[in-house]
Chain A
């Protein structure tokens, strides 16, 4: 089998940029991703152990529930301190991760055990749980919601307490994009994000890849199924403009394309006839862009006290707003590196095969060997496969091969890839072909 070396013009590296569309429907406390409904299994409900608004990484634990089986996976051993009887890796019917505590300081960010890493003894198992999930979330800030802890964050150098709200943590990022549009000012003469009502929608990057495609953000606000307002980033600069309804033509918020945030700043009423409990268990208010996607869990932020600062307000409860539904559409950006190789079969080459069917069936192609010599038969006849209208005489002989696959080798001639053609390609002496081989990396 002959080898041919790729020339510098035969190998190309390209990046394919794809824009997968993403759609979220938010309704009554749940999100639905790309119109997938919640599916229940015969054992687990929902079947993926997370609702349809979430992506489940690797989709572990499909239709499984945690049950006590009394079994252990692997060896069991007594732990003289914690459990003098027996311990080990329990089989609870679910796939889960674990690591043994040792000097490497490895642990899980969210462990099933309530005991903190520091309090566990060396040698004990630390457990994680699956599935790992991600979904969009919403934070609603009223004008009075503190953006940082009410006490100073730096009480002293060694005693740090408190926290800042995500909107304040984004201050530098928001200001950075002010070169695109003056609306990207955290604080300006027009308004200050620390003291106005606003909504922050957080979209994890697993949904959009390396960035939200500019000009594709499309927000729709429905009341009892009727569209009352729509907003789009029609100028592709991250500023969201109302395109339908009461706010048509005005700026209603900002989109951070690379970071996956939507900041909704318009508190103008979208309808005066459809008041609902958007921000808690009391206090009816008009629909407005700051309460877009408000029916996601933990959407209302409150002050959790000096030590904790702003966080989800436990007294607000789940905002269901049964009359309102929200649709968020956009396109993500996914870059795929591709390798294109051009393998050329030239005229007058690749016309010989070592395949046993290349020679006539009746030919004796075995070699004569003895203690003195090894002599190959040099009278082996190549089978004539030239098409003819008659069985005899056959068509005029012409060397013909059929190329069924192309092997790609590394510099040490290790076979690293095989490209197969759908049907074998007939190669004669006067034909030449170039096979275009594409590989997603």
Chain B
């Protein structure tokens, strides 16, 4: 390594770039709705949410994929002292709402808004929450790539005879920014298999928080938007009945029973700095490497008129105090003499 340093000109010799790396994440419903006889479903004694794994969770190979829970606002018609886990469901709703929707000017927790316009419009008072694990969504869910297919057939026994597709189709250019948890898109439902929806047009059915990795789904996907309500359990109860009458874990079981497919693309930000290390024709033609000299003669020169030659094998990046910070190695040595000059492009990812 030569002892000569060359100083970077920050305006010309380095540039900061950001690239996006994606992963395709498909989750077929069988993982969620019974492939492992619910050994991949973990319920807790607190009863406030349910964890879903991609394999029986007692196996060391299992990955946590998402948590499910549900809740309703204190102002919901389902709220009442006779409702099962009434306080917990309200607490869950408020907890999610204060993190994702924030507070209004009076300090009250904002309820989830169906179209993201907080000034007016319908609110989502009863909701299911799908909290995706960070292992899967990484830095954020790629906007416009989320698809959730739910079986909404009226019959409990054959839930997938009719389906709806829930997508954030407008996410790529129509996302909202008025949430404390980052950007979010509106989830819209349209008919998948059959025509279960009461209207042929797409319906807003929830919100998808891209950086938080949380999907908020209105309970009306199994009721109000359908021409005939779905039976949520073997007792043929409606979604409103199970939301008020069943525990949160039971509601999560009912949602999983109708979970056909979920897929999205995630995003990882790769921040890089590219340093252009320029070796001009008169630079770096000599070396202080011990092998450069033999008996005080330069090895690569046989007579005095030969041009000096060196072989570049690595580029060192130094701090202002001349401390070696990083070394970039070349795949093969580059021959350098006064007739050549080159720029080595060093990329540092972080």
Contact = CB atoms under 8 A, between A and B. Distances in A.
Interface string A35-73: 000000110000110000000001110110000010101
B19 interface: yes
A94 B26 contact: yes
B62 to A, nearest CB: 7
A95 B65 CA distance: 12
Interface string B9-25: 00000000101111111
Interface stretch (B70-78, B210-218, B219-227, B262-270): B262-270
Given A62-B61, A95-B26, A98-B23, A73 B145 contact: yes
**For this complex, into which size category does the number of interface residues on chain B fall?**
20 to 34
A41 B62 CA distance: 12
A74 B21 contact: no
A62 B26 contact: no
B17 A47 contact: no
Nearest to A61: B54
B135 interface: yes
B28 interface: yes
Contacts of B25: 73, 95
B335 interface: yes
A69 B23 CA distance: 17
A74 B61 contact: no
A106 interface: yes
B79 interface: no
B24 A98 contact: yes
- Residue of B23, B172, B265 most packed against chain A (CB within 10 A): B23
A73 B19 contact: no
B145 A75 contact: yes
B55 A96 contact: no
A106 B270 contact: yes
Given A47-B61, A59-B63, A91-B26, A73 B263 contact: yes
A439 interface: no
- Residue of A48, A58, A62, A92 most packed against chain B (CB within 10 A): A62
B94 interface: no
B210 to A, nearest CB: 13
A73 B24 contact: yes
B147 interface: yes
Contacts, number: 82
B332 interface: yes
Given A71-B263, A89-B265, A157-B335, A95 B24 contact: yes
Contacts of B61: 47-48, 59, 62
A59 B20 CA distance: 22
B20 A91 contact: no
A70 to B, nearest CB: 12
B196 interface: no
A170 interface: no
Interface string A96-121: 11111010101000000000000000
B329 to A, nearest CB: 13
Interface in B247-270: 261, 263-265, 270
Contacts of A322: none
B89 interface: no
A284 interface: no
27 contacts: A58-B63, A58-B135, A60-B63, A62-B54, A62-B63, A71-B26, A71-B261, A71-B263, A73-B25, A73-B26, A73-B263, A73-B265, A74-B142, A74-B147, A74-B265, A89-B145, A93-B26, A94-B26, A95-B23, A95-B24, A95-B26, A97-B22, A98-B22, A99-B20, A99-B22, A106-B270, A157-B335
Interface of B: 17, 19-26, 28, 35, 54-55, 61-63, 135, 142, 144-147, 169, 172, 261, 263-265, 270, 272, 332, 335
A-B pairs, 6 with minimum CB distance: A74-B145, A73-B263, A91-B26, A104-B19, A62-B55, A97-B23
